[in-house]
Structure 1
Amino acid sequence: MSATHADPETALDTLISAGAVDEAADGTLTTTEEFEKVLAIYHDIYGAVSTEEFHQTVVDLFGVDPDSVEAHLEANGVDRTDVVAYLAAQSFLDIPVGQELLTHMASVLVQITPSSPVPDALPELDDDSSEAFLDSNPDAVITVWRRFCTPCDAMKEDLDEILESIPASVAVAGLDGEATDDFCRTFDVDSAPTVLCFRDGELQESASGRMSPDGVARLVDRVY
């Protein structure tokens, strides 16, 4: 298999055959639940490592000169998301695949957006919009969610009651913890769900794990 012609079409066909990607009748592509579980593992590992450790991973994977790894990443538009997708594909496949084909697979995978774990009732932020959101809403409660997260799913069942406990003057929003590495590193978020309370633009308190409506109400009362 390592000798298979490497191009995006072959990469997609291989991912579909391996069960990493589903193609609907209308051509819509989605990553499978089985693949997303593997992806989540690699995200947890490489989303949290330091920049130096991430650069060393790239050096080890691709034989890049350590002194030019940062320039190499910038020139090729590669970030942690791409490397996580590459490693997850490599781990998921039960057949040997060459580096060039794996690189095409990673490019395909990062373009397929899985369903968001953020509840529809919450505006969804990403790394690009979260700073502007906090600038515009200095008093805000932001919750970080994840896929395949039992405490997250349980907490969503109480979301209406939770939102009722938050003052009307306080903005609310949600983030996909697997897609917002910068936010999570900035505010030391390493699990989900995590509720973060900002006042006057500064993080005042955060709490991780499933919280009951009463627990959120007590947290909010302390901060606001």
Structure 2
Amino acid sequence: MLEQPAFGRRLRAFRRERGLSQTQLATGGLSTGYLSRLESGTRPVPTRRVVEHLCRRLGVPPSAFETRPCQSLAQTLAVAASSAHPARAAGDLAALLDSGADRLDPALRWLALWLLAGVRHEESQYEDEHELLVELTALSETIGNPELIVRALTRLSRCSRMLGDTTRACAEAAAAHRLAGGLSAADRSAVLHALIRAETEAGRPAEARAHIGELGEITAEPEPPRPAPAVRRS
């Protein structure tokens, strides 16, 4: 059986995949407060009877809450990334991240956090997304790759803005902007879009206008020449 907080994360993922509220899942023997603490990991793993009750409500076998030692983070990540519905693998992915699996492979962990944060965004679970993006940004800085740092900070800024913290969103986008100078036009444009939105919502119109002008310069940059198509000789 999974330990906490991995058990709670998998439980929450199963519940969300089925479109159930905590109240709906708790119906029939559990309190909503208990279920909430169980999902957050502040309550220990429940008894077998409670697990069986949850499995009946969710339509999954008890084995769904067991550890899967034969499946590495790389395998789980491959399944999630290649799936048309990556949210279905979110529970396994979150559980493996919590367990510290493949912790010594920063690149795999980065990809897992990026994908899981995207799932949480699609679910409008912005607080969970923000927590994942904070870790993603820290990991990006440890890896030391400017592209990864800029992309993580850009998404973190957007999430902070969704949570209503425009001051933090501006700071995160500004940090990404300082690092994005030598990156691709696509990366620089993404940073500027995030920065302009944050500055506009934070009531900084002059700064936003200046960055709109910078964005216009980037979009006006000529595309690199494309190689001429090969001519087939008869």
Scaled to the shorter chain, the TM-score interval is under 0.3
Greater relative contact order (Cα < 8 A, sep 6+): 1
More helix by share: 2
Q: Which has the higher strand share?
A: 1
Calculate the TM-score normalised by the size of structure 2. Answer: 0.27
TM-score, with normalisation over the residues of structure 1? 0.28
Larger radius of gyration: 2
